[in-house]
């Protein structure tokens, strides 16, 4: 290959040779580990499927341009413009974006025949004349650009060392969930989270839009949901809601970063905000007060009332119409005040509504005990103490063809405290230190219960916000654990904590440069 003609051949297969060797400075005693000096290709997080370093690199300078290929593809142009914006911020260089691919600089190339990269992967080749990013899709080019960012300094211009990467994700679904119902978060705050997660190749944002404490999305046919039901949150604050235009704006912002939005309207439980907004939704015709506490499982839609189904049809129909992604999440968790037979009957109808509006159902794994519709995706949020019967029901659904998203509460719930020192957060699933969040294998996680690896669509890290009301608390709980999710979802594995914690520590200058609040876990060698 031209740009690597003079490669000296330091061969790094990060999934094997590098990450299986003890990291330099590693030590069994927590806190005693020293930061290692990692070469740029070794620092990448998530670790790429394969990378090779060697040869002369490319020096970014005042004359560097970003070339978006000969085809004039609008979407590739968009990827190039966004990458230029991101690199301008960090490097301070002008980085104009031009068409074509002849000449020095950063070259973005769509190549439908590119091998070993799948739909979202890419190849990156760096040599003295520039850096070439090749992918089958614009999404792959976007992810390549995020790797390129990591090969440059967190701030200031620099050199991309000579080398090449061939990369593709392990799982198609790599998600983060944000609960904007328990505490309201603005579109601007959520955009910042999208920026932060997409930098690590997380490709899905699941928005928990409704719960007992607040309804956060405007619905034209049912305006009091947002106007009244949005006006509360945990602890008695003012709450808030997004207009449909604000939601569309967020969805478009995420799409530009190749993040799909999966909206959730939780039902038949977790609905006090809706019941408080419309008396007619209650079996007794009386609206309850709005709720600002943190109990769960006390509210239910009125399963026997036909008006309930008009309601979910209109709400889900309006949401489907402004959601380009394929999924609608309908909750289905903790419906403790809905009898089991009613729950199953209700979920049958809710799933039919989702299908009729052209979307695929996602639901929390409690749906496994009812009748998941063909194609429905189940999101598992159990933990080490979850009863075997519950896991077996999930396994039966998986074996019947239902894809699983894994969000084990004692691994990936970002609202669990790290340890006894953590201020915000809960601990009902136990503490979740940084190592615990990362050091497991999604492919075999439920194997003992009979879930085949092929049923695992991916992983998602939920962040519930009963105790989290500010950007800084949100970030403190998410960072750095969300980077572990990113690596579990993307890298070929197996998890390798000694290697991972060194690479995680190497992200600190990037987190600092973006003013991200994060927990400096004592067993990560931050330096
Ligand atoms: C959940 O944590 N209730 C899904």
Q: Whose CA is nearest to atom 1 of ligand 1?
A: 333
The rounded Å distance from CA 332 to ligand 1 centre is: 9
Model pTM score: 0.94
Q: What is the pLDDT of residue 297?
A: 97
Q: Is the peptide bond before 505 cis (omega within 30 degrees of 0)?
A: no
Helix (H) or strand (E) holding 12: strand 10-12
Domains of the chain: 48-167 (3.30.379.10), 173-493 (3.20.20.80)
Atom of ligand 1 nearest to the CA of 462: 2
384-to-258, 271, 429 alpha-carbon distances in Å: 33, 28, 9
CB-defined site of ligand 1, < 6 Å: 333-334, 364, 381
Report how far apart, in Å, the C-alpha atoms of 344 and of each of 212, 352, 367 are.
21, 12, 8
Can you tell me the distance from the alpha carbon of 240 to that of 186, in angstroms, rounded to the nearest whole number?
8
- Taking CA atoms only, the protein residue closest to ligand 1 atom 2 is 381
Looking at residue 71, its pLDDT comes to 84
Query: What are the tokens at 353?
Result: 């509504």
Which atom of ligand 1 is closest in space to residue 296's alpha carbon?
A: 3
pLDDT in tens, 393-444: 999 999 999 999 999 999 999 999 999 999 999 999 999 999 999 999 999 9
The DSSP secondary-structure symbol of 416 reads B
Strand partners, 263: 207
H helices present in 209-304, as ranges:
224-227, 244-256, 272-277
Catalytic residue among 314, 334, 352, 390: 334
Cα(465) to ligand 1 centroid in Å equals 12
Residue 381 Cα to ligand 1 midpoint, Å, equals: 7
**CA 379 to centroid of chain Cα atoms:** 14
* 318: annotated active-site residue: no
Interior CA angle at 333 toward 330 and 334, to 5°?
Answer: 145
Give the separation between CA 243 and CA 263, rounded to whole angstroms.
Answer: 14
Q: Pick from 314, 357, 312: which is nearest to 332 by CA?
A: 312
pLDDT number for residue 379: 99
- How far apart are the CA of 456 and the centre of ligand 1, in A? 19
Buried/exposed 318-337: b ≥16 CB within 10 Å, e otherwise: bbbeebebebbbbbbbbbee
Q: Which atom of ligand 1 is nearest to the CA of 381?
A: 4
Among protein residues, the one with the nearest Cα to ligand 1's atom 3 is: 333
Residues of the chain short of pLDDT 70, as ranges, are 1-32
Paired tokens of 294: 């943190």
pLDDT in tens, 280-308: 999 999 999 999 999 999 999 999 999 99
**Residue 435 neighbours by CB distance under 10 Å:** 18
Instruction: Choose the residue to mutate in 212, 333, 412, 416 for probing ligand 1, maximizing ligand atoms within 8 Å of C-beta.
Output: 333
Are β-strands 360-364 and 173-179 bridged in parallel, bridged antiparallel, or unpaired? Answer: unpaired
């Amino acid at each position: 290959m031209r740009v690597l003609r003079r490669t000296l051949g330091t061969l790094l297969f990060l999934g094997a040779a590098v990450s299986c060797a003890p990291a330099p400075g590693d030590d069994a005693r927590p806190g005693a580990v020293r930061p290692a000096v990692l070469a740029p290709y070794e620092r990448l997080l998530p670790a790429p499927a394969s990378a090779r370093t060697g040869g002369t690199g490319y020096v970014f300078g005042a004359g560097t341009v970003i070339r978006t290929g000969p085809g004039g593809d609008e979407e590739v142009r968009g990827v190039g413009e966004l990458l230029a914006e991101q690199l301008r911020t960090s490097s301070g260089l002008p980085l104009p974006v031009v068409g074509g691919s002849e000449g020095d600089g950063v070259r973005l190339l769509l190549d439908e025949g590119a091998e070993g990269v799948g739909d979202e992967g890419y190849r990156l080749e760096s040599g003295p004349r520039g850096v070439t990013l090749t992918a089958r899709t614009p999404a792959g080019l976007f992810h390549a650009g995020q790797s390129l960012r990591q090969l440059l300094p967190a701030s200031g211009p620099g050199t991309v060392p000579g080398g090449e990467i061939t990369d593709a994700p392990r799982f198609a679904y790599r998600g983060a969930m944000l609960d904007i119902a328990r505490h309201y978060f603005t579109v601007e705050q959520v955009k910042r989270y999208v920026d932060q997660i997409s930098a690590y190749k997380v490709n899905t944002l699941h928005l928990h839009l409704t719960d007992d404490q607040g309804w956060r999305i405007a619905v034209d046919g049912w305006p009091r949901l947002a106007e009244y039901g949005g006006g509360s949150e945990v602890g008695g604050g003012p709450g808030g809601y997004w207009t449909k235009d604000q939601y569309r704006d967020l969805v478009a912002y995420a799409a530009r970063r190749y993040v799909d939005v999966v909206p959730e309207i939780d039902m038949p439980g977790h609905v006090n905000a809706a019941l408080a907004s419309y008396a007619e939704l209650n079996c007794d015709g009386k609206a309850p007060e709005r709720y600002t506490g943190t109990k769960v499982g006390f509210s239910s839609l009125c399963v026997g009332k036909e008006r309930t189904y008009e309601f979910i049809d209109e709400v889900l129909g309006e949401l489907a119409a402004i959601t380009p992604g394929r999924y609608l999440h309908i909750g289905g968790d903790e419906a403790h005040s809905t009898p089991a037979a009613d729950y199953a009957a209700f979920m049958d109808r809710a799933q039919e509504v989702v299908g009729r509006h052209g979307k695929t159902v996602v639901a929390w794994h409690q749906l496994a005990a009812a009748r998941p519709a063909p194609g429905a995706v189940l999101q598992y949020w159990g933990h080490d103490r979850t009863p075997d019967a519950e896991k077996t029901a999930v396994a039966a659904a998986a074996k019947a063809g239902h894809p699983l998203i894994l969000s084990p509460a004692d691994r990936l719930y970002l609202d669990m405290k790290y340890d006894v020192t953590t201020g915000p957060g809960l601990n009902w699933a136990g503490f979740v230190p940084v190592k615990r969040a990362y050091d497991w294998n999604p492919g075999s996680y439920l194997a003992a219960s009979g879930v085949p690896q092929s049923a695992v669509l991916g992983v998602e890290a939920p962040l519930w916000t009963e105790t989290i009301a500010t950007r800084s608390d949100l970030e403190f709980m998410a960072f750095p654990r969300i980077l572990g999710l990113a690596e579990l979802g993307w890298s070929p594995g197996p998890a390798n904590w000694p290697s991972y914690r060194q690479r995680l520590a190497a992200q600190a200058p990037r987190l600092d440069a973006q003013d991200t609040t994060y927990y400096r876990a004592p067993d990560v060698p931050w330096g």
